[in-house]
Amino acid sequence: MALHQNRYVQIMKVAVIGGGAAGYFAAISCKTHHPEAHVSIFEKSSKTLAKVKVSGGGRCNVTNVCEPQSDFLRHYPRGQKQLKKTFNYFNKKNTLEWFESRGVKIKAEADGRMFPVTDDSQTIIDCLRNEVERLGISALNKKGIIGLNPQATGGFKIKYDTEETDYFDCIIVATGGSPKSASYDWLRSLGHTIIAPVPSLFTFNIPEERKLKSLMGLAVPNAVVKIQGTKMVQNGPVLVTHWGLSGPAVLKLSAWGARQLFDMNYNFKSQVNWTGGMNEEDLRQQVTKISETESKKKISNAKPINIPNRLWEYILDRIDLDGNTIWVELKKKDKNRLINILLNDEYAVVGKTTFKEEFVTCGGVDLSEVDFNTMQSKKLSGLFFAGEVLDIDGITGGFNFQAAWSTGFVAGKLAQ
């Protein structure tokens, strides 16, 4: 322990490296559970909580309503087994209670995402900053740490980017995810294994399909998207953008398939089932039925399934079917073409685009080297981890923030 300069009293000094959601929550938890400790947050950039600011379209998707906890955990492509332990100490319910006890009311939306009722991420930022100030935690911007050396007598000597040094009893690493493997070199030097970082949560670029751009802004409530030649498949809403495909189904695919899609260099064929999962037999029955019940209607005016009108017009145009053709005159081969494209609409994906401003990585500190009951390193006593610096990532919907709150809370509470 560090010695107080005037009295010989043991005062624990804790450094939290990283001024994001996990770092702030870890610092607050540490000071709350160890009020005598001297806790400092170090952020190398000019702004803390920058990701909180832009998340959820600037509203901050705090967590998700998903129940029970076993279902909640299924939304983590990496880390669900380990987070089960952490959630035993601090979970979604605890998160809601924590914010609401500090005057921040949280609401649930139809898709399960939870936001502050103000619909403004600044509400969450102000809450965290106010708590840091109230507790007397030191939060320093533009204060990077370039060296971390364990001491033989315990604790750590840290080196700032200003070449100054200082001593701390405990270190909580909450630096977030990074696309650059070199960003983790300092953790490698401490003996930790780093799982190579690759992007997660991204949308699909489809530059060659110019007709697709006519659907820009269209949301299809339920579609099935799969990656050709793999077992990767997800269902859910799909959003057509000016560059390709987005929406929950695509984002889930990008998260679960993060490493495999990276290995494919983001060049692959995707197939979309616009019917929401209907099989060929059922769709054929619907086409046969409408051919009989709406036989005199133009195919452009009578859809066999419930999909948006713009999508139906696009589908007809995509396979060069004249919308003025009436159903009774539609040839068998054209019905087959129509069925095939509704079930297996194929697109060549060339590249990816980060989902809004929410960069998430797959990769980071090897989970087997961390005790998730305490968030302490198994390699080095006094070294703790929180947030996306770990090889943990969730799909979109508030799951990554919940991992940050939970790991931050436990790391801060048990830092000693």
Q: How buried is residue 105: exposed, middle or buried, by Cβ count under 10 Å (0-12/13-18/19+)?
A: exposed
Question: What's 44's DSSP letter?
Answer: S
Summarize the confidence of residues 112-119 as an average pLDDT: 98
* Residue 38: C-alpha distances to residues 12, 13, 133 (Å): 6, 5, 13
**What is the number of domains present in the chain?**
2
pLDDT of residue 28: 99
**Domain shared by 65 and 175, yes or no:** yes
For residue 9, pLDDT beyond 60: no
> Does residue 222 sit in the same domain as residue 193?
no
Instruction: Report pLDDT digits (tens) over 202-238.
Output: 999 999 998 999 999 999 999 999 999 999 999 999 9
Domain match, 265 and 288 both = yes
Same domain for 271 and 392?
A: no
- Mean pLDDT for the stretch of residues 170-179: 95
Q: Which of 333, 354, 375 is the last residue of a domain?
A: 354
What is the residue whose two structure tokens read 């401003």?
Answer: 357
Q: pLDDT band at 10, cuts 50/70/90?
A: confident
pLDDT of residue 5: 44
| Pair 170, 240 in one domain | no
Looking at 336, 354, 372, the residue that finishes a domain is: 354
Give the domain extent around 79: 2-199+362-414
Contacts of 343 (CB under 8 A, 6+ apart): 273, 274, 275, 278, 279, 280, 283
Residue 208 and residue 137 share a domain: no
- Strand 202-205, strand 63-64: pairing: unpaired
Q: pLDDT (tens digit, 9 = 90+) per residue, 297-355?
A: 999 999 999 999 999 999 999 999 999 999 999 999 999 999 999 999 999 999 999 87
φ and ψ at 73, to 5 degrees? -65, -25
**SS3 call for 252:** helix
